[in-house]
């Protein structure tokens, strides 16, 4: 029975992927346009997509390294709280951040008035938003790498009386080098596949990425040939980057903070510089959130369209909960053959099943959405199945993240209890009951994480969702697009509060696992 259920899960995931690629290849009205690849405008889009991803990655890492080192060496007050804020910033829905940045730095802000000629929309706004989302992620990873430096190396550096620069060169840089390359790849892919930020802060044709161009070709121009060509180009580049990244070191950004802290705090001007960097990082993370809070007024609270918000909230929760539960169920089933291979110590088989389970990583959500959209519209089934695929494609996006979170816990459970369960010859229901008892905390934490990620979806909803029944992120986009920035700010705070609750729930069950 478990093998059959796992087979069904693998069939379902591959069926969704096959459906998308069938749509990308079979519809005659959307033939691949080779001539489009030579078009100057497309080449400009591709250059801008790669350029903004490269600059966003470099800026994120340039900011993250000194901040992570300051956390490690200076051990400043509020470090644990800062790491929690960093996690919230990384998982924050993109449109919540966009709303905060527009209120803080947009045309109607005091900052914009003070700097005559400043324009948020375009490359500058995209970079600010991308760095905000990604540098906290890099900080958490690099801080963990700094904390993992063996005590023996630190003692040797003390005995040799290495200077700060020598300690960085010989002790710290080798400890974080592998993580830096992995982070560069991950952040680059995230920025390359960015949709919501470019949609709202792009500011025109000169600041358009491939994902946004696909959306415009599908929903505005209804040019299926152009959408198909752009989707294949997006898949070729993003898929290649994912495959290269699969050979790099793994990063841990959800793990709990280590209990041990470095006692080798540096003194003098270096320490003051580290504390200044730390304070600047606090300011950078807090100001967009404070900009949202500053928009709240009694008049807004009285006149706010609560009915629209509650309808959007219910729509968001229905879609996100359905996608999260579906992804969680599929993850548990997909892990079954991986667990069996691990028990039998069949490393190659385990690696193959793991790749098959997380194959959706190779194709960006916008590519899968485009192929599915073209297939459904060619068969006249878009209206009937759009809501179904809105949930299914969100679940497919969540799968690799949930597999990564659940796999260590299930493998640890098998290592401890598999032989005992086999000796007792427990029936299927009893096995499931025992497993659920022992991993219920990681399950709750993973379910919270899945719901947290699903709440912020914009790209899939933009293609399959009904604009008459928006989710909370799309309602924020609608408010911001009509210059109702105060309403957008309050809606963003509501969504942010919901994310914060889920994040605390996830951390609680991770901590007590």
Count Cβ atoms within 10 A of the Cβ of residue 231 and give its class: 0-12 exposed, 13-18 middle, 19 or more buried: buried
Element (H, E) at 440: helix 428-455
Q: Which two tokens stand for residue 291?
A: 């900009």
CA-to-CA distance for 326 and 458, rounded, in angstroms? 19
Count Cβ atoms within 10 A of the Cβ of residue 117 and give its class: 0-12 exposed, 13-18 middle, 19 or more buried: exposed
Asked if 52 and 189 touch (Cβ cutoff 8 Å), the reply is no
Tokens 């802060």: give the residue. Answer: 201
Of 297, 215, 351, the closest CA to residue 485 belongs to: 297
| All residues at 6 or more sequence positions from 14 whose CB lies less than 8 Å from its CB, including other chains | 356, 359
Whole-model pTM? Answer: 0.86
List, in order of start, the domains of the chain with CATH numbers: 1-31+296-512 (1.10.3720.10), 41-257 (1.10.3720.10)
Tokens 């899960």: give the residue. Answer: 9
What pLDDT sits at residue 288? 93
What pLDDT sits at residue 261? 47
What pLDDT sits at residue 323? 96
Asked if 444 and 397 touch (Cβ cutoff 8 Å), the reply is no
Cα 195 from chain centroid (whole Å): 12
Tokens 């919270």: give the residue. Answer: 448
| All residues at 6 or more sequence positions from 335 whose CB lies less than 8 Å from its CB, including other chains | 357, 403, 406, 407, 410
Strands (E), 276-317: none
Of 177, 176, 156, the closest CA to residue 72 belongs to: 176
Of 89, 413, 146, 389, the closest CA to residue 262 belongs to: 146
CA-to-CA distance for 30 and 25, rounded, in angstroms? 8
Residues of the chain with pLDDT under 70: 1-2, 27-35, 117, 203, 246-266, 512-513
What pLDDT sits at residue 256? 47
CA-to-CA distance for 454 and 472, rounded, in angstroms? 12
What pLDDT sits at residue 135? 93
| All residues at 6 or more sequence positions from 399 whose CB lies less than 8 Å from its CB, including other chains | 13, 327, 330, 331, 334, 357, 358, 360
What pLDDT sits at residue 489? 94
What pLDDT sits at residue 67? 94
């Amino acid at each position: 029975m478990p093998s059959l259920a796992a087979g069904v899960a693998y069939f379902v995931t591959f069926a969704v992927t096959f459906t998308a690629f069938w749509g990308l290849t079979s519809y005659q009205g959307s033939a691949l346009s080779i001539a489009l690849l030579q078009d100057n405008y497309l080449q400009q889009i591709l250059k801008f997509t790669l350029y903004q991803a490269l600059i966003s990655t470099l800026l994120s890492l340039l900011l993250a390294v000194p901040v992570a080192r300051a956390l490690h060496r200076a051990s400043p007050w509020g470090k644990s709280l800062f790491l929690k804020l960093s996690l919230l910033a990384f998982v924050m829905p993109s449109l919540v951040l966009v709303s905060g940045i527009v209120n803080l730095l947009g045309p109607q802000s005091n900052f914009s008035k003070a700097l005559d000629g400043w324009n948020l929309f375009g490359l500058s706004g995209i970079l600010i938003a991308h760095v905000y989302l990604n540098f906290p992620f890099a900080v958490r990873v690099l801080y963990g790498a700094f904390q993992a430096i063996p005590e023996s190396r630190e003692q040797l550096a003390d005995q040799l009386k290495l200077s700060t620069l020598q300690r960085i060169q010989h002790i710290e840089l080798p400890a974080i080098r592998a993580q830096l390359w992995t982070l560069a790849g991950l952040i680059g892919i995230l920025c390359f596949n960015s949709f919501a930020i470019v949609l709202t802060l792009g500011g025109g044709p000169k600041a358009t990425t491939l994902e946004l161009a696909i959306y415009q070709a599908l929903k505005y121009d209804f040019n299926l040939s152009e959408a198909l060509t752009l989707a294949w180009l997006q898949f070729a580049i993003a898929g290649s980057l994912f495959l290269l990244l699969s050979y790099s070191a793994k990063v841990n950004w959800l793990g709990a903070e280590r209990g041990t802290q470095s006692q080798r705090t540096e003194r003098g001007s270096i320490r003051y510089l580290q504390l200044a960097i730390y304070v600047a990082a606090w300011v950078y993370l807090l100001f967009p959130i404070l900009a949202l809070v500053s928009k709240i007024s009694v008049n807004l609270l009285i006149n706010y369209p609560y009915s629209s918000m509650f309808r959007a909230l219910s729509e968001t929760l229905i879609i996100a909960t359905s996608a999260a539960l579906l992804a969680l169920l599929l993850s548990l089933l997909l892990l079954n053959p991986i667990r069996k291979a691990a028990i039998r110590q069949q490393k190659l088989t385990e690696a193959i099943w793991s790749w098959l389970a997380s194959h959706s990583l190779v194709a960006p959500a916008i590519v899968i959405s485009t192929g599915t959209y073209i297939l459904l519209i060619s068969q006249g089934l878009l209206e009937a199945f759009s809501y179904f695929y809105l949930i299914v494609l969100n679940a497919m996006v969540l799968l690799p993240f949930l597999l990564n979170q659940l796999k260590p816990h299930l493998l640890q459970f098998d290592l401890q209890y598999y032989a005992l369960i086999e000796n007792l010859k427990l029936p299927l229901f009893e096995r499931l009951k025992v497993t659920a008892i022992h991993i219920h905390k990681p399950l709750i934490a993973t379910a919270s994480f899945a719901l947290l990620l699903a709440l912020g979806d914009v790209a899939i909803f933009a293609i399959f969702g009904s604009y008459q029944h928006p989710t909370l992120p799309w309602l924020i986009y609608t408010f911001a697009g009509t210059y109702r920035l105060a309403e957008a700010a309050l809606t963003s705070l509501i969504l942010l509060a919901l994310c914060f609750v889920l994040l605390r729930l996830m951390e609680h069950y991770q901590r007590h696992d």
